[in-house]
Amino acid sequence: MTGVMTSLHTLSATTLSGMMARGDVSVVEVTDAFLARIAAHNDALQAFVHVAAFRARRRARALDAARRRGDFPSSPLAGVPMGIKDLYPVRLMPMRGGSRALGPIITPFDAVNVARLRAAGVVMLGKLATSEFGAMPFTEPDVHAPTRNPWDLSTTSGGSSGGTAAATAAGLVPLGHGSDGGGSIRIPAALCGLFGFKAGRGALVHNSPTERLHLATEGPLAHTVDDATAMLQLLATDARFARPAVVPTGLRVRIAVDSSEPALAPTAPVMAQAARHVASLLQGLGHHVDETGPVPLGLPQFLPLWQRTLAWVPVPSMLEHRLQPITRWLRQAGKTISEATAFSTLDQITAVVDGWWGDADLFVSPAVTCLPPAVGSWRRDDPAEAFNQAVPLAVFTAAFNASGQPAMTIPVRLPGMSQPVGVQVVARRGDDALLLAVARVLESALGGLSHRPAAFS
């Protein structure tokens, strides 16, 4: 059993849950193993901002007692330890959203999806780092040291689900909880070598008072499609993820490797190579692949939607000075944009994306234009310059938050590279189940999606 215990962090979440349900290993043993990983590695990574070890062990003991009574939750994630991104409340845990302007507030309730995960038997280990209010694709708020990439600690893990990505890639949790309003699942998944799935608008339960435009959704960052599917099933508004979909032959696949912002965000050759590799795999599976241009929208068109969303975050006026300059700059502009203008802009962007999309079934592109940037590379005295540093990470992703289409990041390991790079695949609005089925086909064609950084193996 000792060998099994030391390698628990290399097992998938669904495998661990099955072992706990059978009694092969206890929930306490699994929980202790991941708490030990956090204690050993979190100082280097800054992935967790709060660790609730006492409450996690108490929950684990209760689940072990339930199993002995024959009352273990019938869930694919029962007993699985997880952290929750610190934009969402967890009962009796602090929340500050990566900001010096908030808290830490001890929240007396669970967010709606946290409650769903808890009911499914998930063990809550604590809260995971985010950029301030989820504003940036780097996780470097002023309330703690930067969150770092397990593949190279000098580089960023991305954002805003950067803590989730770092923790999942390094084996501090078996499965990650994130959210995506402009790429915040797909970007850190790409930088940390993970599978990340952003469901389409309305596919998953999501309840946030600041999300009136419905750009964001919660979702998984994972090592396997099975693990991601398990979370999607628990958070879904309907049964679309309940049964595996069949991928028909002859899908119309479009690929673009050029960025819509070539001056600010030229695509690195390795990113284009990875996207072309995924497209060639799809072509080999019987689908029709054609080259196309990028979505004819730059981040400046998406920016007003993001500014308006951040302006809705409730921050007392006397505490605005505590915000990071980039967050304050975004919010100040957002307050000048009316709700009606924001919804009109959303409709215009969606129409542009729909017109560009045409009759395609799938779209393939790099997830980001570059390898992980160095920690601190976005910090500039001028907030507009700081925002420009984010463009290479978000230029391929944000349009599909506006259009509400399902999109995912697939990690691809190219010859001669130790660290995988991320490829984005997008489906038509409402085709979440098809996209997940495509992920499963690509997982098989790529020989698996689970890649582990050697320093945290």
* Two structure tokens written together for 118: 């808890």
Q: How far apart are CA 134 and CA 277, in angstroms?
A: 31
Strands 123-128 and 81-85: parallel
How is the chain split into domains, by residue range?
2-456
| pLDDT of the residue at 5 | 65
How is domain 2-456 classified at the architecture level of CATH?
A: Alpha-Beta Complex (3.90)
Angle between helices 27-45 and 13-22 (to 10 degrees): 150
- Global confidence as pTM: 0.97
| pLDDT of the residue at 441 | 98
Encode pLDDT of 96-126 as tens digits: 999 999 888 999 999 999 999 999 999 999 9
**Weakly modelled stretches of the chain, pLDDT under 70:** 1-6, 209
Q: In angstroms, how far is CA 430 from the centroid of its own chain?
A: 19
What are the φ/ψ torsions at residue 196 (nearest 5 degrees)? -130, 135
| pLDDT of the residue at 3 | 53
Q: What dihedral angle (degrees, nearest 10) is formed by the CA atoms of 414, 418, 420, 421?
A: -70
Q: Annotated catalytic sites, by residue?
A: 85, 160, 184
**Is 71 exposed, middle or buried, given 0-12, 13-18 or 19+ CB atoms closer than 10 A?**
exposed
Cβ atoms of residues 173 and 125 within 8 Å: yes
Average pLDDT value over all residues in the chain: 96
Neighbouring residues of 338: CB distance < 8 A, sequence distance ≥ 6: none
